[in-house]
Amino acid sequence: FPSHDSMSEWLPAIGGDRWWKFYVYDQLSIPQQRIISEADGKLSDLDAAAIFRILGKNWKELSNHRHTGLKGSDFKFVKEAGDIRNELAHMPTGAEITIQDVLRNLDTLTRLAESLNADEGLIEKLRLDYNKAIQLSTQKSKPNKEQSEDTNKKPLDEPATKKIKTNEGNIVTGK
């Protein structure tokens, strides 16, 4: 969400010459430190888990800095986004996620992107995905050949039976 350029600007502004060690390296887990030590040592080398960890650990100072435009009250979105990433990354193969969880996750990610002043294209994509998920959850069509067997031929707004299968973190509606 935050561009590596933004974080590469924000972190030195609050950390001075020692920003990399104190605000990045020291905030990472030991495995993440190993990865970054073996790479070029740039923020662009970090994965989503590391970025969310760095944001979370440094949020108070980042939100207090006048040039970031971040609000302390938006910290909850950083923590929730990290939780979303972890839940999806560690789901067993073939596991399912409810449409309600998809809606909540997309709402959280949209709010985080907005609070970070992320690229407008990303924010728009999140909004479109959210609207598609709403359409899926409120769809009231008669059963047909294209509906999957695991829906028990019920409308998509019945949460006990409606699930969206995930495949490498992507929403797959299936037929």
- Pairwise pLDDT comparison (122 vs 38), residue with the higher score: 122
| Amino acid 69: pLDDT | 84
DSSP assignment, residue 74? Answer: G
Q: Is 78 exposed, middle or buried (0-12, 13-18, 19+ CB in 10 A)?
A: buried
Task: Please write the tens of the pLDDT for every residue from 105-160.
Answer: 999 999 999 988 888 999 999 999 999 999 988 874 335 555 444 444 333 344 33
Structure tokens at 110: 């949209």
**Which among 66, 56, 1 is positioned nearest to 23, based on CA atoms?**
56
Q: Where are the alpha helices (DSSP H) in 16-155?
A: 19, 30-38, 48-64, 75-89, 99-115, 120-138
